[in-house]
A = this chain, B = another copy of it.
Amino acid sequence: MNAEIIAVGSELLLGQITNTNARFLSNHLAELGINVYYHTVVGDNPDRLEDAIKIAENRADLILFTGGLGPTKDDLTKEAIARHLNTSLETNEEALDSIVAFFERAGRPMTENNKKQAWVLKDSDVLVNHNGMAPGMMYKKDERVYILLPGPPKEMEPMFQFEAKPKLASLLNKADVILSHVLRFYGIGEAELEDRLHHILEKQTNPTIAPLAADGEVTLRITAKTNTTEEAWQLINGTKNEILDVVGDYLYGYDNDSLASKVVELLKQQGKTISAAESLTAGLFQSELASVAGASAVLSGGVITYNEEMKVHQLGLSAELLAEYGVVSEQTALAMAEAVRDKFKTDISVSLTGAAGPDAHGDQPAGTVWIGIATEGSSKSYRLQLSGMRNTNRLRAVKLALYYVIRTLTEENARKI
């Protein structure tokens, strides 16, 4: 089964929002073993939408639409598809009831335009919207499947996952097993990784190996296609071992791991707690850790000292040290890490201080960052010189701090990046 995803919405073509729906759907379709060959974005224009449908019908047998199911005048996906497929729209009573109930719960009057949201394609399979008003649809015609989903991700994602995906899975011939396993690396560039793995990448057929770099991370996705789950894992593990023999030192995790989830996992395993003193990143390091469910078992908290005075008052750093070395310095980073560890009584602590940009901080150019890590009886510091924009630098500093914590917890020396 080959699929195409058509996102409908002029706001996408004007650059007001990003098409995150295509990524979400592609990911889930890959899991089902469905090939996605194209994504298309088209505006709120019925003629151009119909042109896009015709092109998609020439190259896909599953077409997924997102967006254009809402109450307003420019929501016209259903209407355009009904016209193209030569069918009609009818009110779905259950959807209408739930829209009426929604407004009653909210204590707001229901405006007339909301009724349009309950219209569905005649003879379609209705997909219930548990997080919004417009229902989705699955419609079959001439050996082709059309799936209509709402645009807002918080409505679309659960609707696809729990309503559409099971229906799709049961349509597929499940003879083939397709399994993917992702290896996650930090501290090595994409070209270097690929160069060192040249001999393995050269001969790949099944499993296939797809490298990808993003935000300083490199991943390798190993995908095997075979008859049984056992055989697929055998193929994947063989290739994985060959890869790790060469670049295993840079591996930090697998599949849905993130640097933050790995830190939380290692701390839990070791029964340790963590705190942080943040200047540059103003809470982003701790917020990344807290984005992992269950982080409260290991993250005690920390202090954000965004100005110099607070480093003295809240962390007890000496004004002399700050005057002598400056806020952006190795000495300040180490003193911040040690002070917060002491104050929050944790096993490990992290500090981040630097000049995010666009301006320099005194004689320290924009992009200069010091990271401190304190543990029982020892402290380490790392200097980075980043070259991105303000918020790229802040995020990169957080990722590097997480990476150094992983290295510290796994008792290997962090390598210089």
A-side residues, CB < 8 A to B, are 10-20, 22-30, 36-43, 45, 48, 51-52, 55, 59, 70-74, 108, 111, 113-114, 131, 152, 154, 190-192, 194-195, 201, 210-214, 219, 221, 276, 278, 281-287, 289-291, 293, 295-296, 299-307, 309-310, 314, 343-344, 356-359, 387-388, 390-392, 394
Do A41 and B42 contact each other (CB < 8 Å), given the known contacts A13-B26, A72-B191, A306-B301?
A: no
* Shortest Cβ gap from A406 to chain B (Å): 19
Task: Point out the residues of chain B lying under 8 angstroms from A131, CB to CB.
Answer: 387
Do A212 and B300 contact each other (CB < 8 Å), given the known contacts A43-B37, A285-B283, A344-B314?
A: no
* Shortest Cβ gap from A75 to chain B (Å): 11
In whole angstroms, what is the CA distance A291 to B358 when docked? 11
Is B154's CB under 8 angstroms from A388's CB? yes
In whole angstroms, what is the CA distance A284 to B295 when docked? 15
Is A291's CB under 8 angstroms from B15's CB? no
Task: Point out the residues of chain B lying under 8 angstroms from A18, CB to CB.
Answer: 18-20, 22-23
Is A191's CB under 8 angstroms from B114's CB? yes
Interface centre among A36, A191, A282 (most CB of B within 10 A): A282
Task: Point out the residues of chain B lying under 8 angstroms from A41, CB to CB.
Answer: 22, 38-40
* Shortest Cβ gap from A402 to chain B (Å): 14
Is A282's CB under 8 angstroms from B293's CB? no
In whole angstroms, what is the CA distance A45 to B312 when docked? 58
Shortest Cβ distance from A48 into B: residue = B37
Q: Which of B16, B37, B219, B357 contacts A212 (CB 8 A)?
A: B16
Task: Point out the residues of chain B lying under 8 angstroms from A281, CB to CB.
Answer: 287, 290
